[in-house]
Amino acid sequence: MELRVRMWEISSTTVRYNVTERTTPAIALAGIKDVSQRTMGAKTGGAASKRPIVNFYQTAPTNIKGIAASRVMSSRLRTHRNTDLTQNTHIISP
């Protein structure tokens, strides 16, 4: 990975994406040892993991805006339900 970063610093055209380099067992073992040494003193809380977002579809900004817009439109339509459609009036004002 350090080689790829250095290649990027020299010239971004030298970095190949969607290509994986072969890893030797010695390099993989060194990586595993490094991770285990860095996390040796870490402790878990003992509680079950929780999802960071309980209901994504109600928290996404675009969906919240969509819900709000649909409520506004439905309320406007409800207020103009008894309007005579033969008149040249706008049912929904912008």
* pLDDT tens by residue, 40-91: 888 877 787 777 776 666 665 665 666 666 777 677 666 655 555 555 555 5
d(CA 42, CA 31): 18
Q: What's the one-letter identity of residue 85? A: L
Q: What Å distances lie between residue 13 and 17, 18, 19, 21, 46, CA to CA?
A: 10, 14, 14, 17, 47
In a domain, 24, yes or no: no
Strands (E), the chain: none
Could you tell me the two tokens for 68?
């709000």
Domain that holds residue 72: 54-81
Number of structural domains in the chain: 1
Would 66 be classed as within a structural domain? Answer: yes
| 73 lies in some domain | yes
- 69 occurs within a structural domain: yes
What pLDDT does residue 53 have?
72
CA distance 14 to 7: 6
Query: Would 70 be classed as within a structural domain?
Result: yes
Q: What's the chain's Rg over C-alpha atoms?
A: 29
- 34, pLDDT greater than 90: yes
pTM recorded for the entire structure? 0.30
In a domain, 59, yes or no: yes
Would 22 be classed as within a structural domain? no
Q: Which helix (H) or strand (E) holds 8?
A: helix 2-10
Identify the pLDDT of residue 12.
Answer: 77
